[in-house]
Amino acid sequence: MVPRSDLIAFELSRHRAKSQEMSRSHSLKRNTAETRIELTIDLDGSGRSKIATGLGFLDHMLTLFARHAMVDLEVSCQGDTHVDGHHSAEDIGICLGQAIDKALGEKKGLTRYGHMTLPMDETLVQVALDLSGRPYFVWKVEFPTPKVGEFDTELVEEFWHAVCIQARMNLHAILLHGRNSHHISEALFKGLARALRQAWSIDPRETGVPSTKGTLTD
């Protein structure tokens, strides 16, 4: 008879092998003359984050993004913020999109679609997305002010455009109403986090890739 402790050890190693096989995480580095970025994401994390982008407002947005998407996220960026925040925001968006695309892998068992109507005080935003492998970006948001603190509000669109194209998703974002730029940005990041969490969650009834085409990566 096999000792019970051996059986437990065997079950544990099997469990570990299975969870490693299922690991949906990715790390990358990007170095250009404008930015130096390191980013790690685990789609099946617990909402932990370590964010240092050099842009205080973007740190705030990425911290709440990780929490609401329930991902573990580490981002560090040394960028040319003496110019402005543009290169840093855009390049971090590129890195996040690439890491999401890689972490999703073959997209087996994926829910695929996600949507959210998210309120924040006077603001209401609506977002919908499809992890289709075909990038398309629709953004119907106008900010009432050009800046939140030191951060240019137009960079919210730049950031999400970069994420959308690199993660090869279809993303729609609409501001239904709102008066406060901080609330509008925060509602967008939280809404997109919640929609992504839904879209990349595993559907237990889905045994293959959720497409009649047979693939979501081409």
**Residues near Mn ion, by CB under 5 A:** 186
Closest to Mn ion by CB, 120 or 199:
120
Shortest Å, Cβ 186 to Mn ion: 5
Shortest Å, Cβ 7 to Mn ion: 50
Q: Is 108 helix (H, G, I), strand (E, B) or coil?
A: coil
Shortest Å, Cβ 171 to Mn ion: 22
Closest to Mn ion by CB, 56 or 208:
56
Distance of CA 4 to the CA centre of its chain: 43
The span from the CA of 202 to the CA of 210, in Å, is 11
The span from the CA of 83 to the CA of 21, in Å, is 43
Closest to Mn ion by CB, 120 or 173:
120
Count other Cβ atoms within 10 Å, centred on residue 32. 11
Shortest Å, Cβ 130 to Mn ion: 28
Closest to Mn ion by CB, 41 or 120:
120
The span from the CA of 38 to the CA of 181, in Å, is 28
The span from the CA of 98 to the CA of 176, in Å, is 29
Closest to Mn ion by CB, 90 or 186:
186
Shortest Å, Cβ 90 to Mn ion: 22
Q: Is 180 helix (H, G, I), strand (E, B) or coil?
A: coil
Under 8 Å between Cβ of 48 and 68? no
Closest residue to Mn ion, Cβ-based?
Answer: 186
